[in-house]
Structure 1
């Protein structure tokens, strides 16, 4: 447990082949089921202050209380994911902390010296920021708002994992507007 952020709730892995990664995690590691979105609808995406249109595929599953996120970039839009791949890396790229008090937590962290490098919004009350690693080498830290439908999605994914029997290893993301 971090005294600044709370529990790490998600481990985000950048991969080159998301389908192969879901297969490995479900078949070899027994983690699943995976909820897959071939094109995550990210609004107001910014990287280092500039707006871009990104095309990222994402798959989410839980192992206990920890959510595992698999991310594959599908275009050349600037992002921390693209930087990670360009540096020759694949694998764990970020740890995420979840909040229902996004504005207050973000303000507190900015006052502590954290700098936002990447940000966006997924659904109502689904903002996220990734902090720059300039001041702290290592894994990127994400602060993710779960006050809206994204939080309900995350709860549903965790529930699906509790007694998962290995069937239907890959499932579609539900429409956030219906949650």
Structure 2
């Protein structure tokens, strides 16, 4: 059986950090990425950590780094999560890569059949979900899966377009999360 990553292009690399704004500013200074778009306290209609309901309050900063989106994510509440699993209190580092898949349930099954548990399944709206597959033992990080919804693609387009001719002005941009 081929690895579930297969020929899917990595669309995003994400880091777990204690402060997304500080991490975004440091990344911009070091690598010229950005600008970064901040989503605070991203609402979830469903959150399952390893199959069990678990509240997840998180915020993210999204920016463009060459051909790939870079995300910085912080957890705003205590409790079990894929972030705390990899980086217990106070830890930080590379956390996951993201893939856009045509069928999230089929992709999740493919990963599970290859021995990678669904560590997180969450929905931002009923039926609009994302999953974190536990590939830590094999790859050293999680793999995030989501489908190409118009909303998701719009975020990718916004981040990429804002990076074109980015001159360093207005490096941190906030957008409302509905």
Structure 1 residue 4: deviation in Å? Answer: 1.4
- Structure 2 residue aligned with 1:15: 17
In the alignment, which of 98, 102, 105 is matched to residue 103 of structure 1?
A: 105
- How many aligned positions are there? 175
SS of the counterpart of 1:86?
A: coil
Instruction: Identify unmatched segments of 5+ residues in structure 2.
Output: none
- Structure 2 residue aligned with 1:119: 121
- Structure 2 residue aligned with 1:31: 33
Q: Deviations over 1:7-41 (max 9, x none)?
A: 11111100012221111112332110101012111
* Residues 35 and 162, structure 2, Cα contact 8 Å, conserved in 1: yes
- Structure 2 residue aligned with 1:40: 42
* Residues 43 and 122, structure 1, Cα contact 8 Å, conserved in 2: yes
Alpha-carbon distance in 2 for matches of 1:6, 1:58: 23
- Structure 1 residue aligned with 2:51: 49
Of stretches 52-61 and 109-118 in structure 1, the one that deviates more from structure 2 is 109-118
Of stretches 133-142 and 45-54 in structure 1, the one that deviates more from structure 2 is 133-142
Structure 1 residue 159: deviation in Å? Answer: 1.4
After superposition, the Cα gap between the structure-2 partners of 1:147 and 1:14, relative to the gap in structure 1 and judged at 3 Å, is same
Structure 1 residue 85: deviation in Å? Answer: 2.4
In the alignment, which of 62, 68, 71 is matched to residue 70 of structure 2?
A: 68
Structure 1 residue 117: deviation in Å? Answer: 1.0
Instruction: Identify unmatched segments of 5+ residues in structure 1.
Output: none
SS of the counterpart of 1:122?
A: strand
Q: Deviations over 1:23-62 (max 9, x none)?
A: 1112332110101012111221110111122111100011
Stretches of 4+ moved more than 6 A in 1?
none
- Structure 2 residue aligned with 1:159: 161
After superposition, the Cα gap between the structure-2 partners of 1:104 and 1:49, relative to the gap in structure 1 and judged at 3 Å, is closer
In the alignment, which of 81, 86, 89 is matched to residue 79 of structure 1?
A: 81
Of stretches 118-127 and 4-13 in structure 1, the one that deviates more from structure 2 is 118-127
